[in-house]
Amino acid sequence: MRTDKRSAARAKAAKSGLGPLVATGSLILALAAVAIPARAETIFKSHGISTFGDLALPADFPHLPYVNPDAPKGGEISQWSPGSFDSFNPYTIQGNAAALSSIFYESILSGTLDDVSAAYCLLCETIEYPEDRSWVIFNLRKDVTFSDGTPFTAEDVLFSHNLFAEKGIPEYRSVANEKFQSVEVLDPYRIKFTFSPGTPFRDMPAQAGSGPIFSKKHYEDNKLDLEKSSFTPFLGTGAYVLESYKPGQQVIYKRNPDYWGNAHPLNVGQNNFDRIRIEYFGDDNAAMEAFKAGVYTFRNEGDSKRWATGYDFPTIASGDVIKGVFPSGNIAGGQSIIFNLRREQFQDPKVREALGLVFNFEWSNKSLFYGLLARINSIWENSEMAATGVPTPGEIAILQPLVDEGLLPASILTDEAKMGSVSSEDRALDRKNLRAASALLDEAGWTVGDDGLRRKDGKTLRMAMVHSRTDLLPVMNAYVENLRALGVDASFEIIDDPQLQERASPPNFDFDALPTTVVNGGLEPGGVLKQAWASVAKDNSSRNRMGYADPAVDKILELVEAADSREALHTTVKALDRVLRSQWVIVPRYYKRDNWVAYYNMYEHPETLPPYALGELSIWWYNAEKADALKAKGVLK
């Protein structure tokens, strides 16, 4: 009750109900009667929150700037997914969740595709928070319903938060229990999150509002379990519901005609398709043939050889299928090969550096990728957070104390940022790099035996790699051959998705090395980096599969969370990037600079697409006349 009165008093003093609310003068005297301290406290009430600076959109914005507000609703878009699925629960490590299986759920706040800092009210009308962001109150909308028409209230928010704190994946549980001091329902449509003292509060209001919300009643009535795989989805408030599925083969989501949020400014011009269909295939070759036959209609291409040589079929020539390149402003994605640092043979940085030296990007790009890919050097490649050259004064200010403590070598202050090896593009095995790698392994005590394999203390230097993607075979087989020339007992094995999930996840971590995407936290990294790089996540996080732990990095991660400006954040992440690269914990691979897509000529999109996502499932739309023309020509059934 006290919090309600306090907020009401401040709301009365605010202009238009938005902006900073300051209790002053007689207001303070009134609040003193309900035991509120006399000291004025600035409380902000707004339609959202930004990590740094002000929100770009005003409270009364009609729609997002990159959508077509008049986009027609209707039709179907279909895509493919590899492997199979046996669950609609994407929040457990058990089973293999269907593609887009989080489509049912919304969160209190929603981001946009053109602003990495912003989080706007979706399930709330306004939020309130103090200047230090040590707590946040969400004033929830009263018109929100779950997809079955039942009401959404603060009790569902509290239930969902507690559910993830108790049964979420380990890395989320540790964050929830460490950073959230309390969560309190103030009334059916108001809920307050208070954050633990000592927590960097910068990202916490947005983090509190970013979790998926489930229906408490539906979860309990159906005896569901967040930790178990299940074909019964949890009940959410989202625009799409499950229409049908064939286990491991197909899943269809349909737009809910009674969706509560159709007129919400964040949704105008979005959720345009009546149906979203996902077809499953065992491998990319089968999926490509199915696309050419019209089995599905929108394809994101990831294989550069296929992009360069495989799109010459008749419907491309006729214009019935469009082949398009769309620029991407996203961070590179950290495609790398990670070492399992729990394995004894990978604990020496000289060994890791040597193994990275024989990955030949230049030859791979020319011979396998048709020159279409770019090299990754930084974990934050294609962003302002990638470390370059020698440390800047700002980086030195972060690194020097860690050197003084003996946590980092002094060379980190003067060395240039480590780069991926540069090799000859004319042959797969670069002799110069092979010699350099051999010298490093000799220094590390791994000597070559009569059989050509390297051993130390009677143990063979082994590097067994696994994955489920067959398109990786050409480049990974070439890498394996180079490793074998170095004297490493190397292999690359294709396994199915469930096996990969089991072997690569806690508590098993059953691999030597793994081609994967390294977590970088996106363009505004914060607390998520702890789940990937902090010592506390060494053996319990699916985001820290390599088992990384380093006290110096733990301290830098605290500074990342505490950064109070974009400039400070960029400088701190550069220092982090520099340290991680100096330890050779990954073998950086490559990335695509652009989005490569092909689609049947019945989809349209806004003239200017947002920089951080293609948005084909949300902001594109279906042209019924074009679809009918394709069907009349027999291109589509």
Per DSSP, the three-state class of 71 is coil
Residue pair 585/366 in contact by the 8 Å Cβ criterion: no
| CA proximity to 76, closest of 310, 243, 247 | 243
d(CA 472, CA 491): 13
* DSSP at 98: P
| CA proximity to 621, closest of 44, 68, 235 | 68
d(CA 81, CA 196): 41
Decide the pairing of beta strands 76-82 and 42-46: unpaired
User: Helix H segments across 496-602?
Assistant: 497-504, 528-533, 551-562, 566-582
pLDDT of residue 570: 97
What does the domain layout of the chain look like in residue ranges?
1-46, 335-591
Residue with tokens 């009790």: 155
Q: Half-sphere exposure of residue 3, counting CA atoms within 13 Å on the CB side?
A: 18
| CA proximity to 278, closest of 237, 307, 240 | 240
pLDDT of residue 162: 95
Residue pair 80/279 in contact by the 8 Å Cβ criterion: yes
Residues found in the chain: 637
Number of other residues whose CB lies within 10 A of the CB of residue 387: 26
Given CATH 3.10.105.10, say whether it is the number of domain 335-591.
Answer: yes
pLDDT of residue 36: 43
d(CA 280, CA 25): 65
> Which pair of structure tokens corresponds to residue 24?
């002053």
pLDDT in tens, 345-401: 999 999 999 999 999 999 999 999 999 999 999 999 999 999 999 999 999 999 999
pLDDT of residue 19: 35
pLDDT of residue 557: 96
pLDDT of residue 94: 86
Q: Half-sphere exposure of residue 87, counting CA atoms within 13 Å on the CB side?
A: 19
Residue with tokens 């990754």: 376
User: pTM (2 decimals)?
Assistant: 0.83
Alpha carbon 611 to chain centroid, angstroms: 16
pLDDT in tens, 480-498: 999 999 999 999 999 988 8
User: How confident is residue 32, by pLDDT bands cut at 50, 70 and 90?
Assistant: very low
pLDDT in tens, 545-582: 999 999 999 999 999 999 989 999 999 999 999 999 99
Q: If 0-12 CB within 10 Å is exposed, 13-18 middle and 19+ buried, where does residue 297 land? A: buried
User: How confident is residue 39, by pLDDT bands cut at 50, 70 and 90?
Assistant: low
Q: Angle 23-31-206 (CA atoms, 0-180°, nearest 5)?
A: 55
pLDDT of residue 9: 34
Q: Angle 563-568-569 (CA atoms, 0-180°, nearest 5)?
A: 65
